Structure 1
Amino acid sequence: MYTENDLLRALRKSWSIQSSSKWSIDNPAKGQCGVTALVVNDILGGKIYKTWLDEGWHFYNTFDGERKDFTQEQFSYNLEYQDVRSNREEAFQDTNDIQYSYLKSQVYESLRES
C-alpha cells in the first residue's frame, strides 16, 4: 500500500505538459487537479470533491472525511474550500483520455521505482 507522501512524490515527478496543457516549469501542478484527483482515486480510493474558483472547478480528494488536495501548491493563495461532492465523471471533464492515461502510467512507474 502506498502512502500519501509516496503518491505526492510520484505525482510531482510525473506532472508534465503531457498531463496538463497548463503545466509549466515554474508551476508544475497548474491545471493538474482533475487528472490528479482521478489518479489518486484509482490508487488510494476515497472520494472526489470540488470547489468553485474564478478559473473554474478545482478538484481534490477526501479520505475518511479528511481533505487532501494534492495540487494545492499551484495556487499562490489559500483556497476557501466549499467541499462540494463530485465524482469521476465530473473530474474527467477537466482532462482527457490521453492526459489521464499518461499521468496514471507515469505515477505507477514512479511508485514501482521507489
Structure 2
Amino acid sequence: MQSPVNPFTTPLELYRAIASVWSADTSSPTGAWSPSNPAQNHCSITSLVVQDFFGGEILSTKTSGGTHFYNSIENVKWDLTASQFSEPIPYDDTPSSRELALSDTSGEKYALIKERLSRAF
C-alpha cells in the first residue's frame, strides 16, 4: 500500500508532519486526546499512514490501555506514537493487519488525517 508519491524520506519526517495534524477528531475514541499528549489514541490510524508511505508490516502489542499498533519497516521497529505512554511498552511484535488497525479507528478518521497531511505537505 505504498503511496506512488512519498514526500517523506524517513518515518521520522512523517512523524513531524503527522504530529502536527493529530487532534481530538482523529483520535480513537473521538475526544480522547489532549494537546499535552498529542500521540494519545492515535496508534491505529498512524500505523495505517506509516504503511501507506513506507510499506512494511503493522504489528501490535497489549498494553495496560489495550491494543497498541506500530510498524516494522525492513525489520526496523517504528512506533510514532510511543510518546503517549508514561511507562515502557511491552512490545511483543504480534503480526497485525490493516483491517485490525482500521477496526480500532474509522474510515472517516483515516480519510481526514490523510487529507490534512496532503494539505500540509
Q: Settle same-fold status: TM greater than 0.5.
A: yes
Kept in 1, the 8 Å contact 2:23–2:38? The answer is: yes
Amino acid in the other structure paired with 1:38: L
TM-score by length of structure 2 reads 0.86
Could you tell me how far 1:66 is from its partner in structure 2?
1.0
TM-score by length of structure 1 reads 0.91
Sequence identity percentage: 38
The number of equivalent residue pairs is 111
Measure the CA separation in 1 of the matches of 2:85 and 2:60. 15
Q: Which position in structure 2 is the counterpart of 1:102?
A: 112
Measure the CA separation in 1 of the matches of 2:104 and 2:119. 23
Following TM superposition, the consecutive aligned residue runs of length 4 or more in structure 1 with deviations greater than 3 angstroms are none
The reply to whether residue 23 of structure 1 matches residue 23 of structure 2 is no
What is the RMSD of the two structures over their aligned residues, measured on CA atoms? 1.1
Could you tell me how far 1:96 is from its partner in structure 2?
0.5
* CA deviation vs aligned residue, 1:9-56 (integer Å, no higher than 9, x gap): 111101001211222111111000001101111111111000011221
Unaligned segments of structure 1, at least 5 residues: none
Unaligned segments of structure 2, at least 5 residues: 1-5
